Amino acid sequence: MAFAFLFPGQGSQSLKMMDGFSAFPLVKTTFEEASAVLGEDLWAMLQAETPDAINRTVNTQPLMLTAGVAIYRAWLAAGGAKPQWLAGHSLGEYSALVAAESLAFADAVKLVRLRAEAMQSAVPEGAGAMAAILGLEDADIMAACAEAAQGEVVSAVNLNAQGQVVIAGQKTAVDRAIEACKARGAKRALALPVSVPSHCALMQPAAEKLALALAETPLHAPTIPVIHNADVASYTEAAAIRDTLARQLYQPVRWTETIAYLVAQGVTQHVECGPGKVLAGLGKRIDKAVNTLALTDAAAIEAAMAALAE
For 283-296, the pLDDT digits (tens) are 999 999 999 999 99
* pLDDT confidence bin for 126, thresholds 50/70/90: confident
Q: How far apart are CA 182 and CA 246, in angstroms?
A: 33
Average pLDDT over residues 264-269: 96
Mean pLDDT throughout 153-158? Answer: 98
Give the integer Cα–Cα distance in Å for 8 and 282.
Answer: 11
Helix and strand tally (H, E) in the chain?
12, 9
Find the catalytic residue in 12, 35, 90, 102.
90
Q: Is 121 a catalytic residue?
A: no
User: Is pLDDT above 90 for 1?
Assistant: no
Q: Which of 89, 199, 228, 270 is catalytic?
A: 199
CA angle 82, 298, 26 (to 5 degrees): 70
For residue 234, CA distances in Å to 93, 187, 222, 223 come to 11, 35, 9, 11
Given a cut of 90, whether residue 10 has pLDDT beyond it is no
Q: Rounded mean pLDDT of the chain?
A: 96
Residue 310 confidence (pLDDT) above 80: no
pLDDT at 101 over 90: yes
Write down the pTM of the prediction: 0.96
Band of pLDDT at residue 253, cut at 50, 70 and 90: very high
Helix (H) or strand (E) holding 140: helix 138-149
pLDDT tops 80 at residue 11: yes
Distance CA 290, CA 264 (A): 11
* Residue 176: pLDDT over 80: yes
Q: What is the pLDDT of residue 295?
A: 97
| Structure confidence at residue 194 as a pLDDT band (50, 70, 90) | confident
Instruction: Look at the chain and count its residues.
Output: 310
Active site residue 90: yes
Euclidean distance between CA atoms 200 and 149, whole angstroms: 12
Does 281 score more than 80 pLDDT?
yes
